[in-house]
């Protein structure tokens, strides 16, 4: 493959050796190695509800509380194995969850077939053990000010109202 990767406007010729990207590649390699280790397989691999084949857990849709717990276990394992965040795996996994729900809602409202197309792509990704990158960013606002002093209070999460819960 000839990846076309840029970071800070610089073309990265070797993603496995460049100081900016090599740690991410190494962390992904450790995730694939963990999938081969019987001590970690239940955390890293699961049966796909889509294909009924064993796949990398970061390529599955979370369907219940157990899946959410395994998301946390997977992240903790990767921190322990790598000493750092394996952002693309974790964030990519979370992005898949958002896309899955969003495609359903769009299809319901507009009669499109995005969910089916998303499923087809996800089955391909599972069958080829791809990793999915996600991107995180925060609102910019005035970087010299803390969130509660921003001119636009809706840039950051904040308390709008406090109510006592009466149970029920």
**Structural domain contains residue 108:** yes
Which domain does 77 fall in, by range?
Answer: 15-135
**Structural domain contains residue 91:** yes
Number of domains into which the chain is organized: 1
**Structural domain contains residue 10:** no
For the cut 90, the answer to whether the pLDDT of residue 87 exceeds it is no
**Structural domain contains residue 5:** no
pLDDT band at 94 (very low <50, low <70, confident <90, very high): confident
Separation CA 83–CA 43 (nearest Å): 17
In this prediction, residues 44-67 reach a mean pLDDT of 93
What are φ and ψ of residue 3, in 5° steps? -65, 145
**Structural domain contains residue 142:** no
CATH of the domain at 97: 1.10.3140.10
What residues contact residue 20 under an 8 Å CB cut-off, 6+ apart?
A: 7, 8, 12
pTM of the complete model beyond 0.85: no
Tokens for 1, please give them: 């493959």
**Structural domain contains residue 81:** yes
Name the more confident of 89 and 2.
Answer: 89
């Amino acid at each position: 493959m000839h990846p076309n990767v840029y970071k800070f406007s610089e073309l990265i010729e070797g993603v496995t050796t460049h100081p900016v990207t090599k740690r991410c590649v190494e962390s992904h390699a450790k995730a694939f190695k963990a999938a081969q280790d019987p001590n970690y397989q239940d955390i890293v691999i699961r049966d796909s509800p889509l294909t009924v084949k064993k796949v990398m857990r970061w390529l599955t849709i979370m369907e219940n509380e157990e899946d959410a717990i395994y998301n946390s276990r997977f992240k903790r394992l990767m921190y322990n194995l790598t000493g750092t965040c394996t952002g693309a795996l974790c964030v990519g996994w979370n992005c898949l969850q958002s896309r899955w729900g969003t495609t359903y809602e769009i299809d319901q409202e507009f009669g499109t077939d995005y969910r089916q197309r998303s499923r087809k792509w996800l089955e391909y990704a599972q069958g080829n053990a791809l990793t999915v990158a996600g991107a995180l960013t925060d609102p910019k606002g005035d970087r010299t000010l803390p969130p509660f002093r921003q001119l636009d209070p809706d840039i950051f999460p904040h308390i709008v109202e406090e109510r006592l819960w009466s149970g029920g």
